[in-house]
Amino acid sequence: MFHLIKDRQWRNFLYHQLLTAQSSFYAPTTPPLQDTGLPAKFKVGVSAEDFMENDGVDYAVALSRFKNIFPDTKVLIVIRNQ
């Protein structure tokens, strides 16, 4: 089961640092994770369409940065027809 973080600090970090900042401007300091108070069976989820298409960094760079922040993360990519 997943719990999506709806936090403005994380949203800003994702869109202004992780996905768009060029290497010389990238600041890997992440906002604190919220204490959800949920049981351990719940996982934290991030949903961001901009991982696949954005005007910032390459897809591989974005995933590499994400892995540095959450090294044991499993990534699920869902591709759907709009």
Return the domain boundaries, the chain. Answer: 2-69
Residue owning tokens 């591709």: 79
CB atoms within 10 A of CB 13: 19
- Looking at residue 3, its pLDDT comes to 45
pLDDT of 2 > 50? The answer is no
pLDDT given for residue 47 in this prediction: 66
65 contact partners, CB below 8 Å, separation of at least 6: 18, 26, 28, 57
Name the nearest CA neighbour of 54 among 11, 16, 25, 23.
Answer: 16
pLDDT at residue 76 greater than cutoff 70? yes
pTM: 0.67
Q: Select from 67, 2, 7, 1 the least CA-distant residue to 31.
A: 7
Q: How confident is the model at residue 5 (pLDDT cuts 50, 70, 90)?
A: low
Average pLDDT estimate for 30-37? 77
